[in-house]
Structure 1
Amino acid sequence: MTAPLRESFLEAMSRAAATVTVVTTDGAAGRAGVTVSAMSSVSAEGQAPTLLVCVHHLSPAAAAIFGNGCFAVNLLAADQQAVADTFAGRVRRADGDRFACGDWSAMPSGAPCLHGALAAFDCRLITATRVGSHHVLLGAAETVEIAGPGLPLLYSGRAYGAPARLDAA
């Protein structure tokens, strides 16, 4: 790929709005988490609902997810930017414990679920494919937790924001 095409692609993608999630895992391969904006529903049909997340191949979370065979996708609320920054590596704690930025509980798989997140999906890893710099992970959602009403944290234009409430007319 040429450098101009790469730069144009990155600039164009920065204009897309995406919800912000923190993907977490815990188990024999360790506890880890990473901020992700590439998350999508794949299907609600089949044995279990399926979703997709993309994790950079160099992220320690990727190796932990592969080793544990599970992950949770925590859909962040608009007021959880500090959590997003912590798991993105923008904010560093002296003790190195990224999980100290929030209150967590274990989902059935053991993956950490963030209290106050709009929703959390506890997933069993189905498959992973390396595409360029990222692993594309497919997960079977075996448990879904939904919090009360709220607005999601969005990422667009290389900045965080929140949507205006959309009401049905």
Structure 2
Amino acid sequence: MTTPERLQLRSEFLDAMSQLVASVTIVTTDGPAGTAGATVSAMTSVSADGDSPTMLVCLHHETTAAPAILANRCFCINVLSADQSDIANVFAGRVPAPNGDKFAAGPFAKMRSGAPGLETALARFDCKLLSDERIGTHHVMIGSVMQVARLGGLPLLYGNRAYQALA
């Protein structure tokens, strides 16, 4: 495929993908490589069966969170509520973090793995990293769920290139 064709396909792909709606999450980690986190909409369950449930998350290779997760071997997926777009913006780098610390944006507590879990998240999935594969610009990471916490409520969604909420 020639470069103009590839660029056209990429543009069409991104436009079409903008029509999908996804839950907004922040993925966090802590350990020997330090504390890090990023806003992510590419997250899903893989299986509820097996030795433990499994989750999949995709992180851009240029985030500080990706290499930290690889080194720490753990991550927590925090599902944001409809009123937490401010936290999503901080972890996405769209707005400055309070006092330069992303984790000052909300109340966090250590999960079983040691990763920070947002105490006010709709749900938290604390995972041990099982596998990682770099595909294009992203790391596709699969984690074994060690702990789950759930508050419930309405999720923050991302679709049509903007945050959305259920009516």
TM over 0.5: yes
Residue of 98, 102, 106 corresponding to 1:98: 102
Aligned to 1:15: 19
CA RMSD of aligned residues (A): 1.0
Q: CA deviation at 1:95?
A: 3.3
Pairing 1:159–2:162 present? yes
Q: 1:14 to 1:104 in 2, by over 3 A?
A: same
Aligned-partner residue type, residue 144 of structure 1? V
2:114 to 102, 110, 135: 110
Q: Distance in 2 between matches of 1:57 and 1:96?
A: 22
| Matched AA of 2:154 | L
Residue in structure 1 matching 2:87, options 71, 76, 83: 83
SS of 1:95's equivalent in the other structure is helix
Task: Give aligned-pair identity as a percent.
Answer: 56
Deviations 1:17-60 (CA, angstroms, capped at 9, x unpaired): 00000000001110000000000010001001001000001111
Across the two proteins, how many residue pairs are aligned to each other? 163
Whole-angstrom CA distance in 2 between matches of 1:19 and 1:153: 6
For 2:48, the equivalent position in structure 1 comes to: 44
TM-score of the pair, normalised by structure 2: 0.95
Q: Distance in 2 between matches of 1:159 and 1:130?
A: 27
Superposed CA offset, 1:44-89 (max 9, x none): 0100100100000111100110110000000000000000000000
Q: Which amino acid aligns with 2:40?
A: V
Secondary structure at the residue paired with 1:66?
helix
